[in-house]
């Protein structure tokens, strides 16, 4: 039996749940330059009228007010435990809730939720004593602190800044963890073992990955099908990004002549200039799938 008034109540409940999409807290400020940012005003200039250059970038504040996560989960049929699931999570910090085509957007692309979860968990094998995370892409300064992930196109997390509201030019800046041009000759330079990459993000909470209340040797191994589910928290206490023109990064990867950079700079470096904290919510405004 349908109680009178139920049909009116259900839409209100649905609306109340939907209003949480995009809510969160965070910061993304620093210094950038963008040549030919706008046909009307030319290069990017700060609100104070100072125009940025590669040698002297201008102050920039994304001032994010909308936070969203878009999970892209591996749906291939596999035998249980036979292979790591390629579960991906795209995190967006937006200046506003408008569509991304009309927005300034900072994107973190988690290409392997499994590897990121292992870094955040910080498990140590109780038998061998070995760290259960990829030390080339993850650094942990303490047992209970966040996991620091290297951010670059070839890591478990990459990031990019697109300024569709600020600029009319199609400029994209990618985060790099080493200077451009990039070098694959790792034998000539020491590997970074202390987390001092040029781009990184400290993740304190990543769904159910963290087990800070347990000792590293007592923590459970991360499941090979790990993913961040709806209603779970994503919390980066700090991030720092060194941004390079995507065309320059593309050329460096393929050993092509380096073009003149049109955009670059840095974002973050402290909790007041680089962080995000929100719960993953389902909704068309946050995810592009139905």
Q: How confident is the model at residue 11 (pLDDT cuts 50, 70, 90)?
A: very low
CA angle 68, 279, 112 (to 5 degrees): 70
- Reported as a single tens digit per residue, the pLDDT across 231-250 is 999 999 999 999 999 998 98
- Reported as a single tens digit per residue, the pLDDT across 64-86 is 999 999 999 887 766 665 678 88
pTM: 0.87
3-state helix vs strand vs coil in the chain, percent to 5: 15, 30, 55
Of 43, 62, 61, 40, nearest in space to 53 by CA: 43
Domain ranges of the chain: 59-163+170-279
């Amino acid at each position: 039996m349908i109680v009178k008034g139920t049909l009116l109540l259900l839409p209100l409940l649905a609306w109340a749940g939907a209003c949480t999409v995009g809510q969160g807290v965070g910061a993304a400020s620093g210094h950038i330059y963008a040549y030919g940012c706008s046909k009307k005003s030319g290069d990017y200039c700060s609100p104070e009228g100072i125009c940025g250059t590669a040698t002297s970038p201008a102050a920039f504040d994304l001032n994010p007010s909308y936070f969203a996560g878009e999970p892209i989960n591996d749906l291939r049929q596999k035998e249980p435990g036979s292979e790591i699931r390629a579960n991906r999570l795209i995190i967006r910090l937006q200046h506003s809730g408008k569509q991304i085509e009309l927005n300034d957007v900072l994107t973190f692309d988690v290409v392997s939720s499994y590897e990121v979860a292992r870094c955040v968990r910080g498990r140590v094998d109780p038998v061998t004593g070995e760290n259960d995370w990829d030390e080339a892409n993850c650094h942990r300064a303490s047992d209970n602190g966040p996991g620091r992930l290297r951010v670059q196109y070839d890591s478990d997390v990459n990031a990019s800044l697109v300024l569709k509201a600020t600029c009319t030019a199609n400029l994209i800046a990618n985060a790099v963890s080493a200077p451009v041009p990039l070098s694959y000759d790792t034998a000539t330079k020491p590997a970074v073992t202390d987390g001092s990459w040029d781009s990184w993000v400290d993740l304190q909470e990543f769904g159910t990955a963290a087990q800070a209340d347990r000792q590293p040797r007592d923590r459970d191994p991360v499941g090979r099908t790990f993913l961040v589910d709806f209603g779970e928290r994503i919390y980066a206490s700090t991030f720092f990004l060194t941004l390079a023109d995507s065309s320059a990064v593309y050329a460096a990867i393929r050993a092509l002549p380096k073009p003149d950079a049109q955009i670059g700079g840095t974002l973050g470096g402290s909790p007041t200039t680089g962080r995000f904290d929100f719960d993953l919510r389902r909704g068309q405004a946050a995810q592009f799938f139905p």
